[in-house]
Chains A and B, each alone.
Chain A
């Protein structure tokens, strides 16, 4: 007889997680820099970012903070919904391909409670953009990775200006 085996879930990217972990992504409201932004005047508006890749979250946090936004990071759509802070968010940037709830499903859920909330989608699969008309009820803009940071920032500030 075999002794009871120790079964453990192992991480599929041991190499990669080593790098993810080193400056660990902070989840929560980041303090705005307080300094003047060159092109975007965010005036402390809050942008929520949802992506299952920690490196993307960290880079978007950095970019958005450089434009003086408050940033909230979420690893999944469910995490954002369950956080209860959807009401405080002014804009949402979400990845499309995520396990469980994908970007489109998240968009539907978010728009059910906050139909006016600007949502920007990002995708690692450029072909996803082709099937947008059927899924993109909110008319959200989609950016293919790797996108240009200034373009994303302009889109965010335009979206925020349009609802004001």
Chain B
């Protein structure tokens, strides 16, 4: 279904498994890797040689329990993400974390001295072989993840098959862990020996443990690097580097369990297990904050639109009330002229004429308003900016009267028509004028609102709305176009971010400068349908509509 495709595409932009990492994330990953390498070099240079480490029986259960929690939570989060994004690669990496979480169970059972002196299951080699399978298995999952990434966009699953796919993956992963456990326990005797005794690693360790883990990690790192795209890829690469560092650290300088290096490897292991979880949680929080911001912004914008709508409605009501009052009053007068003992027909006739003329005025107001709201939002037409200003003024004229504001309009007679959506641009003008009125409403005289339009560049018209209000503080200038920002307690007339969005959609710009001696000037540019006649005279060499420097930086 095309609709569900569209939804999935949009959702993809918000998940770490789909979003590409920013420069800050890349730097952080680099810092983590470099830090780990420094720690590794220090340890191999003999940092821990002076420290005599002992066997701590409580360490391993605590360590493995926390690893289990981290890995299973990561797996759950990734499964949830898969159910939303429905990308096969996410399912593979979720299974990878489920695998590392589940394999910890046989590992802890087999580890000698945790639950029983020689382990609950298997023999001497079982725990070591489970470690090998665990640390080789995860990089192989990562390789599968990276390989399945490219097919993802075309191979999306339906919602029902999503749940089936998750169930299948869980079953497969459990089966994999069970077979690994089976091999490491039942076939333990036939497996090559890694451990000399319960503590010491045998001389075969580098070949049987180190080499496979290192090569699987390097392969995974290479594939990830080649197919790197998302934030998840970046942090999985860091995890693979940690896997790689763990290999020499386990064997040098002392090849045995509960050595300084062994403990360090566990710390690294915990780090690798929690890294992606931390990134996922961080991303979820960021996403939540962004969502909240967007919802709040949307609510503010809606309220602002309603408030401006209220004011416009009040203004229209006033605009209608004026001719109605004139009509009613004149009608009363006319009746009185007719009611006289000798009716004054001449005056009564005049009264009727006046009523008719006032009725036409009311009709004109209605017609203007209807024309204002009839335009389709997507429709772009060519029109005179002066007309646009006149239409917008009709909508807010009542507010001028109410707040005793002197309105001035200046225009150039031979201004070229502009291209755009009349209704949207009118909303911008109304919004700017409402803001200006509000800025002046609490101030003493003079309250002057000037709207001016002039040709700015060869194919542009600049419209400016200047007020003598309270002005905008320098600190707020950068903020006022932010949808979440308002300096007003009731938020009326908000919507500067909408205004800017509309103007930018018209390839124009909206900015604000201080008015002298006080107040603010909001200015926006619009494209003319063709250059002004005045300029065509003064710039005969310039072609109509040619693009001379469209970059106009207002600030």
Is there an interface contact between A99 and B361, defined as CB atoms closer than 8 Å?
no
Question: Which residue from chain B places its CB closest to the CB of A143 in the assembled complex?
Answer: B325
| Cβ-defined partner of A149 (8 Å) among B332, B361, B535 | B332
Question: How many angstroms between the C-alpha atoms of A33 and B347 in the bound complex?
Answer: 10
Task: Return the CB mask of B380-409 against A: 1 if under 8 Å, else 0.
Answer: 000000100110011001101110111111
Chain A residues with CB under 8 Å of B353's CB are 23
Question: How many angstroms between the C-alpha atoms of A16 and B406 in the bound complex?
Answer: 19
Question: How many angstroms between the C-alpha atoms of A19 and B329 in the bound complex?
Answer: 17
Binds A, one of B3-11, B187-195, B410-418, B542-550: B410-418
Task: Return the CB mask of A10-29 against B: 1 if under 8 Å, else 0.
Answer: 10111110010011000000
Question: How many angstroms between the C-alpha atoms of A15 and B405 in the bound complex?
Answer: 22
Given the known inter-chain contacts A23-B353, A56-B325, A59-B326, please indicate yes or no for A66 contacting B404, CB distance below 8 A. no
Chain B residues with CB under 8 Å of A65's CB are 333, 347
Chain A residues with CB under 8 Å of B360's CB are 19
Question: How many angstroms between the C-alpha atoms of A3 and B340 in the bound complex?
Answer: 64
Chain B residues with CB under 8 Å of A15's CB are 364, 368
A98 interface residue (CB < 8 Å to B): yes
| Cβ-defined partner of B326 (8 Å) among A1, A38, A55, A66 | A55
Is there an interface contact between A124 and B336, defined as CB atoms closer than 8 Å?
no
The interface size of chain A toward B, counting residues with CB under 8 Å, comes to: 49
Task: Return the CB mask of B443-462 against A: 1 if under 8 Å, else 0.
Answer: 00100000000110000000
Is there an interface contact between A10 and B402, defined as CB atoms closer than 8 Å?
no
Chain A residues with CB under 8 Å of B386's CB are 10
Chain A residues with CB under 8 Å of B455's CB are 2, 5
Chain B residues with CB under 8 Å of A13's CB are 390, 394
Question: How many angstroms between the C-alpha atoms of A56 and B358 in the bound complex?
Answer: 10
Q: Find residues 309-339 in chain B having any chain A CB closer than 8 Å to their own CB.
A: 314, 318, 321-334, 336-337, 339
Is there an interface contact between B411 and A8, defined as CB atoms closer than 8 Å?
yes
CB of B156 to closest CB in A, whole Å: 57
CB of B151 to closest CB in A, whole Å: 60
| Cβ-defined partner of B354 (8 Å) among A59, A125, A150 | A59
| Cβ-defined partner of A56 (8 Å) among B322, B332, B347 | B322
B51 interface residue (CB < 8 Å to A): no
Question: How many angstroms between the C-alpha atoms of A65 and B353 in the bound complex?
Answer: 16
Task: Return the CB mask of B339-365 against A: 1 if under 8 Å, else 0.
Answer: 111101001001101100110110011
Question: Which residue from chain B places its CB closest to the CB of A151 in the assembled complex?
Answer: B332
Is there an interface contact between B398 and A58, defined as CB atoms closer than 8 Å?
no
Chain A residues with CB under 8 Å of B489's CB are none
Question: How many angstroms between the C-alpha atoms of A145 and B445 in the bound complex?
Answer: 26
| Cβ-defined partner of B390 (8 Å) among A14, A22, A33, A146 | A14
Question: How many angstroms between the C-alpha atoms of A63 and B538 in the bound complex?
Answer: 57
Is there an interface contact between B390 and A12, defined as CB atoms closer than 8 Å?
yes
CB of B524 to closest CB in A, whole Å: 19
Question: How many angstroms between the C-alpha atoms of A2 and B536 in the bound complex?
Answer: 10
Task: Return the CB mask of B517-548 against A: 1 if under 8 Å, else 0.
Answer: 00000000000000000110110000000000
Question: Which residue from chain B places its CB closest to the CB of A5 in the assembled complex?
Answer: B412
Is there an interface contact between B340 and A36, defined as CB atoms closer than 8 Å?
yes
Question: How many angstroms between the C-alpha atoms of A97 and B358 in the bound complex?
Answer: 20
Given the known inter-chain contacts A5-B412, A6-B413, A147-B325, please indicate yes or no for A63 contacting B336, CB distance below 8 A. yes
Q: Find residues 277-311 in chain B having any chain A CB closer than 8 Å to their own CB.
A: none
Is there an interface contact between B340 and A38, defined as CB atoms closer than 8 Å?
yes
The interface size of chain B toward A, counting residues with CB under 8 Å, comes to: 63
Question: How many angstroms between the C-alpha atoms of A58 and B355 in the bound complex?
Answer: 10
Is there an interface contact between A58 and B354, defined as CB atoms closer than 8 Å?
yes
CB of B539 to closest CB in A, whole Å: 9
Is there an interface contact between A33 and B344, defined as CB atoms closer than 8 Å?
yes
Question: Which residue from chain A places its CB closest to the CB of B532 in the assembled complex?
Answer: A2
Question: How many angstroms between the C-alpha atoms of A19 and B363 in the bound complex?
Answer: 12
Is there an interface contact between B413 and A146, defined as CB atoms closer than 8 Å?
no
Is there an interface contact between B404 and A145, defined as CB atoms closer than 8 Å?
no
CB of A71 to closest CB in B, whole Å: 11
Is there an interface contact between B329 and A149, defined as CB atoms closer than 8 Å?
yes
Question: How many angstroms between the C-alpha atoms of A44 and B365 in the bound complex?
Answer: 37
Chain A residues with CB under 8 Å of B339's CB are 38
Is there an interface contact between B329 and A62, defined as CB atoms closer than 8 Å?
yes
Is there an interface contact between B409 and A67, defined as CB atoms closer than 8 Å?
no
CB of A159 to closest CB in B, whole Å: 18
Chain A residues with CB under 8 Å of B401's CB are 52, 97-99, 124
Is there an interface contact between B390 and A149, defined as CB atoms closer than 8 Å?
no
Question: How many angstroms between the C-alpha atoms of A59 and B411 in the bound complex?
Answer: 33
Question: How many angstroms between the C-alpha atoms of A42 and B188 in the bound complex?
Answer: 123
CB of A88 to closest CB in B, whole Å: 23
Is there an interface contact between A2 and B325, defined as CB atoms closer than 8 Å?
no
CB of B380 to closest CB in A, whole Å: 25
CB of B316 to closest CB in A, whole Å: 12
Is there an interface contact between A9 and B410, defined as CB atoms closer than 8 Å?
yes
A133 interface residue (CB < 8 Å to B): no
A35 interface residue (CB < 8 Å to B): yes
Question: Which residue from chain A places its CB closest to the CB of B456 in the assembled complex?
Answer: A2
Given the known inter-chain contacts A9-B410, A58-B354, A63-B336, please indicate yes or no for A97 contacting B402, CB distance below 8 A. yes
Question: How many angstroms between the C-alpha atoms of A6 and B413 in the bound complex?
Answer: 7
Question: Which residue from chain B places its CB closest to the CB of A6 in the assembled complex?
Answer: B413
| Cβ-defined partner of A5 (8 Å) among B329, B357, B454 | B454
Chain B residues with CB under 8 Å of A59's CB are 325-327, 329-330, 333, 354, 358
Chain A residues with CB under 8 Å of B364's CB are 15-16, 19
Provide a sorted-by-A list of 16 A–B residue pairs whose CB atoms are within 8 angstroms: A2-B538, A3-B538, A7-B411, A8-B413, A12-B409, A13-B390, A23-B354, A52-B401, A53-B326, A56-B325, A58-B354, A60-B329, A62-B329, A66-B347, A125-B318, A148-B332
Given contacts A5-B454, A63-B332, 8 further A-B contacts (CB under 8 A): A5-B534, A10-B409, A56-B322, A56-B325, A62-B351, A66-B334, A125-B314, A148-B332
8 closest pairs, A vs B, by CB?
A149-B332, A66-B336, A59-B329, A145-B325, A63-B333, A62-B333, A55-B326, A146-B325
